Structure 1
Amino acid sequence: MSEQQADLGVLGMGTMGANLALNFADNGGFTVALGNRTVEKAYGIRDSNPALAERLVPADSIEHFISTLKSPRVVVIMVNAGKPVDEQIDLVLPHLAPGDILIDAGNADFNDTVRRERAIKDTGIHFVGMGVSGGEEGARHGPSIMVGGDQAVWQRLKPLLEPISAKFDASPCVDWLGTDGAGHFVKTIHNGIEYADMQMIAEIYGVLRDGIGLSAGEIGDIFSDWNTRGLQSYLVEITAVTLREKDPETGKPLVDVIVDEAGQKGTGRWSVIEAQKLGVGATTLEAAVSARGISSRRAERAEAEKLFGDIETARAEFHGDHDGLAELEAALETAKIIAYAQGYAVMAEASREFGWNLPLGGIARIWRAGCIIRSRFLDDITQAYEAGEVVNLLQSPHFASRVREGQASLRRVVAKAALAGLPIPALSAALAYFDDYRHARGTTNLTQAQRDLFGAHTFRRLDREGVFHHKWPQV
């Protein structure tokens, strides 16, 4: 048995795991056991942080790691999603005892979290799926934390998690959201919204660059200005920073020498898959995920440009239109509201489907600091839910008035971009969703008629109750 007893242990000393461990030791003041497949890396984390060294306990083996922990033990796993998580669980589980808490704090498919929680439940060991947002900086200095699992276990974890979480007006950005996979599900939707937000920002950047013809630095100044108003957010702030940064080797704007292929780690796709499974339209999120997929086909895109020719003449729709900046700002803000409305609609349906009773207003509250999509906008969402029941954010009086005012700008930007041949998939999807959502009488009556003709799928009528099948003419 080790002489030094750690308050908790972190397994996985990658970027996120190491920074989370340092956060526990620094901002939480906890003694933290450090476990890693490569033992030297755990010792390196301690040795490179001398000010915290007395609260960092590297382990030589899994047995040593467990022996350093106070009972009941708390083990935080921070490794890549999928098989690596299962491997770490299999490694540590035989050394734990009933009452111990095992936390998966990485990105995870919530279905895996549900499966793992059920598999472990009968052992008496508590499994917690915990979403952590904020990237490297957030993990080190204060992330937004979304906790799932047994509510009684959350009461034991609060003293550990509140000190290390981000704070908004002194309020910790951490909360229990529901049983089993609730925390990881909410983190997944957070990331889906993040994809949409980033894609729409990129599309507006494309209009400013390829449509109006502005330089990266000029566009950075515009985003910096927008960050002082309704679009104020971490993503808009860092957009201005990245656009103003110079490449030290060439002196060019750094963004101009970066290859236009976006990576993704799975959470965006998961958000879209779950939206489809729940039957909720999340078209703006879908468009953002699709755009990243298309971006990866760079060679194909180059050939397609040769095949379909230049479209410079069409870009006269925007070229030199420096007076259209307010319109672009309003379009982006309006589309952002629509994207968030879709993400929240997915969470609301999941809450009903899985019996989670997700605190939707509380989710906005803990997203206000620490996470990647933190913004002034989330305070507005918090207030909307505090004001009463919200069917959809687009029906909330505050957001309804903003969309009513901004939809004309979004409509004009989408129309001009389409005429100019500029790709704006997420902005277009947001507008299409809005127009679909606001029509009391849609067009799927025709779809139902077709389905009944070829498959006898039946339909309902406007003028009477019941389910009907019609004897259609033979085709």
Structure 2
Amino acid sequence: MNQIAVIGLGVMGKAIAQNMMNHGFRVAGYNRTYAVTETMQGKENFIGYKELKDAIESLEKPRKIFMMVPAGPVVDAMIDQLEPFVEAGDIVMDAGNSYFEDDARRGKRLEKLGVHYLAVGVSGGEMGALHGPSIMPSGSKEAYDQVAFILETIAAQKDGEPCCTYIGPEGSGHYVKMVHNGIEYADMQLIVEAYIAMKAAGMSNQSISDVLESWNQGPLESYLLSITIKILREKDPDTQKDLVDLIVDASSNKGTGKWTSQCALVQDINVSLIHGAYMARLTSNDEELRHRFPKVQSHIELDTEQLRQAYFLARVVAYEQGFRLYSDASKRYGWDLNLSKIASIFRAGCIIQANLLEYIRDTFGRLGPDASLFDDFEEMAIAHLPALKTIVTTGLLHDISMPLFTAALTYIIPMQQVALGANLIQAQRDFFGAHTFKRVDKEGVFHHHWE
């Protein structure tokens, strides 16, 4: 009998199935297009099936079903197809990038059949899925305990610990993955802005990669910096030009950054860097608007050590904003998220894996879920703030697009101000809408007749 079925054998599904097979798990494979399944036939520990019914019936009980299909209607359609073949006690896992609010509906639907539903966040891309991703399972703890031996085995390992932990109730795993992707958007855009600044200083791609390589150690070491270094050094096999220079200047997205921004608005949490990163991608695709403005060629003098300090501080702000979302969601939705463990499973396997997460894990481990990263990084923030100001003002004065470095600065500066002018806003609101205000010199809520 097979131990687990992998439904959906696209890039990620195929890689995760191979990961399971490499660890000795017997995998039943099914893909809507059988030709895809056939490419894996004959591999050790794998049997592919043309019919979904046959794949499910080949499993030992309770049956474990791992769906790796596109988020949205495809997930619901797959559950429709599974319903006739599953029975009480079976476990269905959705490991795609589903929106967390959809999980409760799907869980209740399967619960009527006595079937467990686990919402499983998976990060790491194709190589992570193959060699060990970060895995964020949520839903029934009883069900997780029955699949933990598989998920924790195939997950990335860091210091002898699996980068997989039970996150919490239904939906929390996909939420954690969603915010992970929001942080990912922000860090990618920050690296891009550093790249643009160095380009404006006349540096070649090779020189920029050398600078990034010098940064990629200690607290700044990260997967995203590592791949950026390789990208900048890659040559196009046909032209021998730098491949990155031949790629169209427009970036796409699959929606998780957008969802993170939307959730932040619902939760009233400032995620200006995550939101700005999503907006930057939209702007890159707005060809009509971009063509309306005359182009400028910027030339600047640049201190790459100042740029490194500015990047370090801005990256901490991005992580701070993401983990503030986690802290709020934990209370808002009753999930009781362990932020230290979340940081721990992000240390390897996932796209945002970085040495910074060691510090973040320690911060939340010592200070609890209501901690701020600036509890530990305040001195660094104060020391690096002049560099961030210099980089932002240089960019503004020379027409260099640096929305996230700017957002990081405008996130920190208000924290240093004695007053932000919000008293005037509240007076305006009271003037036109009788929205009331509080006073600094007496208790209570007041309304003034302004005219």
Per-residue deviation, 1:440:
5.2
| Aligned residue number for residue 353 of structure 2 | 374
Query: Does the 8 Å CA contact 1:217/1:253 hold for their aligned counterparts?
Result: no
> 377, 383, 391: which is aligned to 2:370?
391
> 38, 44, 60: which is aligned to 1:54?
44
| Aligned residue number for residue 410 of structure 2 | 432
| Aligned residue number for residue 84 of structure 2 | 94
Is 1:34 matched with 2:29?
yes
| Aligned residue number for residue 239 of structure 1 | 228
> 431, 440, 448: which is aligned to 1:453?
431
| Aligned residue number for residue 175 of structure 2 | 185
TM-score (norm 1): 0.92
| Aligned residue number for residue 208 of structure 1 | 198
| Aligned residue number for residue 301 of structure 1 | 290
Is 1:9 matched with 2:5?
yes
| Aligned residue number for residue 128 of structure 1 | 118
| Aligned residue number for residue 447 of structure 2 | 469
| Aligned residue number for residue 344 of structure 1 | 323
C-alpha distance in 2 between matches for 1:9 and 1:351:
32
C-alpha distance in 2 between matches for 1:76 and 1:171:
23
Percent identical among aligned pairs is 39
> 392, 395, 398: which is aligned to 1:420?
398
Is 1:333 matched with 2:312?
yes
Per-residue deviation, 1:465:
2.6
C-alpha distance in 2 between matches for 1:359 and 1:439:
32
Query: Does the 8 Å CA contact 2:339/2:369 hold for their aligned counterparts?
Result: no
Query: Does the 8 Å CA contact 1:394/1:403 hold for their aligned counterparts?
Result: no
Paired amino acid for 1:254: L
Per-residue deviation, 1:60:
1.6
Query: Does the 8 Å CA contact 1:384/1:390 hold for their aligned counterparts?
Result: no
| Aligned residue number for residue 278 of structure 1 | 267
Query: Does the 8 Å CA contact 2:363/2:371 hold for their aligned counterparts?
Result: no
C-alpha distance in 2 between matches for 1:115 and 1:437:
40
Query: Does the 8 Å CA contact 1:143/1:370 hold for their aligned counterparts?
Result: yes
Deviations 1:382-409 (A, max 9, x none): 111122235343432x211221211111
Deviates more, 1:454-463 or 1:413-422: 454-463
Paired amino acid for 1:328: L
After superposition, the Cα gap between the structure-2 partners of 1:352 and 1:460, relative to the gap in structure 1 and judged at 3 Å, is same
C-alpha distance in 2 between matches for 1:74 and 1:330:
48
Paired amino acid for 1:138: G
- Report SS of the residue matched to 1:230: helix
C-alpha distance in 2 between matches for 1:134 and 1:390:
25
Per-residue deviation, 1:470:
1.6
Deviates more, 1:145-154 or 1:262-271: 145-154
> 117, 128, 131: which is aligned to 1:138?
128
> 339, 354, 368: which is aligned to 1:360?
339
- Report SS of the residue matched to 2:54: helix
Query: Does the 8 Å CA contact 1:195/1:288 hold for their aligned counterparts?
Result: yes
Per-residue deviation, 1:467:
2.1
C-alpha distance in 2 between matches for 1:463 and 1:298:
54
| Aligned residue number for residue 18 of structure 2 | 22
Per-residue deviation, 1:246:
1.0
Per-residue deviation, 1:449:
1.4
C-alpha distance in 2 between matches for 1:428 and 1:449:
29
Per-residue deviation, 1:177:
0.9
RMSD: 1.3
- Report SS of the residue matched to 1:19: helix
C-alpha distance in 2 between matches for 1:193 and 1:43:
37
Paired amino acid for 1:35: Y
| Aligned residue number for residue 246 of structure 2 | 257
- Report SS of the residue matched to 1:214: coil
Per-residue deviation, 1:43:
2.0
Deviates more, 1:36-45 or 1:364-373: 36-45
C-alpha distance in 2 between matches for 1:54 and 1:276:
48
Query: Does the 8 Å CA contact 1:341/1:392 hold for their aligned counterparts?
Result: no
Per-residue deviation, 1:448:
1.4
Is 1:148 matched with 2:127?
no
| Aligned residue number for residue 50 of structure 1 | none
- Report SS of the residue matched to 1:131: strand
Per-residue deviation, 1:158:
1.0
Per-residue deviation, 1:36:
0.7
C-alpha distance in 1 between matches for 2:369 and 2:414:
19
C-alpha distance in 1 between matches for 2:210 and 2:142:
49
Query: Gaps (5+ residues) in structure 2?
Result: none
Query: Gaps (5+ residues) in structure 1?
Result: 48-52
C-alpha distance in 2 between matches for 1:352 and 1:436:
26
C-alpha distance in 1 between matches for 2:54 and 2:370:
52
> 99, 105, 111: which is aligned to 1:109?
99
C-alpha distance in 2 between matches for 1:248 and 1:300:
33
Deviations 1:285-315 (A, max 9, x none): 00000000000113431332x2xxx544xx4
Query: Does the 8 Å CA contact 1:344/1:392 hold for their aligned counterparts?
Result: no
| Aligned residue number for residue 44 of structure 1 | 39
C-alpha distance in 2 between matches for 1:78 and 1:389:
34
